[in-house]
Amino acid sequence: GAGVSQTPSNKVTEKGKYVELRCDPISGHTALYWYRQSLGQGPEFLIYFQGTGAADDSGLPNDRFFAVRPEGSVSTLKIQRTERGDSAVYLCASSSVSNEQFFGPGTRLTVL
Amino acid sequence: EDQVTQSPEALRLQEGESSSLNCSYTVSGLRGLFWYRQDPGKGPEFLFTLYSAGEEKEKERLKATLTKKESFLHITAPKPEDSATYLCAVYSGGSNYKLTFGKGTLLTVNP
């Protein structure tokens, strides 16, 4: 069956620009997570959705980051006024009641 | 705050040379410990979940074990295709289900 998909796979932008990253979870998974992974590090939690609502956004680094999941399926991570320090791989994961999170391939964001 | 420390940072083995990776954790109350495999340029691939001390799980050449302070990922007779970064993560419960990851162990298996 289809896994978690993320688009684009790569995104290059300039400092100060706005970007949107998309995640399409496994069908039927109600929980969706965003993580950020820097080189040589493990993934770091950003935000968690249960259904349409953000149940925990404590990992978002500042108010330039925002995420939505309007219909309880696809989610979009939005980053305003990008900075060079935002460069990383952004990972999306989804899970069902088992709590086992299945990850997508990630979006590599490069801010020039 | 939950903490996960993985060792060694990197491990180089010859094909067939068995070894173990370590994951030490500090959590307020462990509700689950997860092992993932990550290949370069890919997302983490789920391997195992362990829930309580003494639990063991196996998959092909991999075996994961759990104590109250650490988990081990044992690799028996590894092959070059086992080369990857192995990530350990913990879940301490509550309503958020977020995972706290270690930095991973980069395993290289030479033919």
Chain B: give the shortest CA distance to residue A59, in Å: 10
Burial of A3 (0-12, 13-18, 19+ CB in 10 A): middle
d(CA B90, CA B27): 8
Do B5 and B23 meet the contact criterion of CB atoms below 8 Å apart?
yes
Predicted confidence at residue A1, as pLDDT, reads 55
Chain A: give the shortest CA distance to residue B54, in Å: 20
Mean per-residue pLDDT of chain B: 95
Integer CA distances (angstroms), A2 to A54, A71, A103, A104, B105, in order: 24, 19, 12, 10, 28
Predicted confidence at residue A2, as pLDDT, reads 85
Nearest to A61 by CA among A41, A39, A79: A79
B96: pLDDT confidence band, cut at 50, 70 and 90? low
Q: Is A5 on the interface with B (CB under 8 A)?
A: no
Give pLDDT tens digits for A21-58.
999 999 989 999 999 999 999 999 999 999 888 888 99
Q: Is the pLDDT of residue B95 over 70?
A: no
Helices (H) and strands (E) in chain B, counts: 0, 11
Do B44 and B37 meet the contact criterion of CB atoms below 8 Å apart?
yes
Q: Is A33 on the interface with B (CB under 8 A)?
A: yes
- Comparing alpha-carbon positions, the chain B residue that sits nearest to A91 is B43
Do B91 and B74 meet the contact criterion of CB atoms below 8 Å apart?
no
Give pLDDT tens digits for B39-85.
999 999 999 999 999 999 999 999 999 999 999 999 999 999 999 99
Give pLDDT tens digits for A60-111.
999 999 999 999 899 999 999 999 999 999 999 999 876 789 999 999 999 9
Looking from the CA of A110 toward its CB, the CA atoms found within 13 Å total 5
Mean per-residue pLDDT of chain A: 94
d(CA B48, CA A44): 19
Cβ B101–A43 below 8 Å, yes or no? yes
- Comparing alpha-carbon positions, the chain A residue that sits nearest to B98 is A45
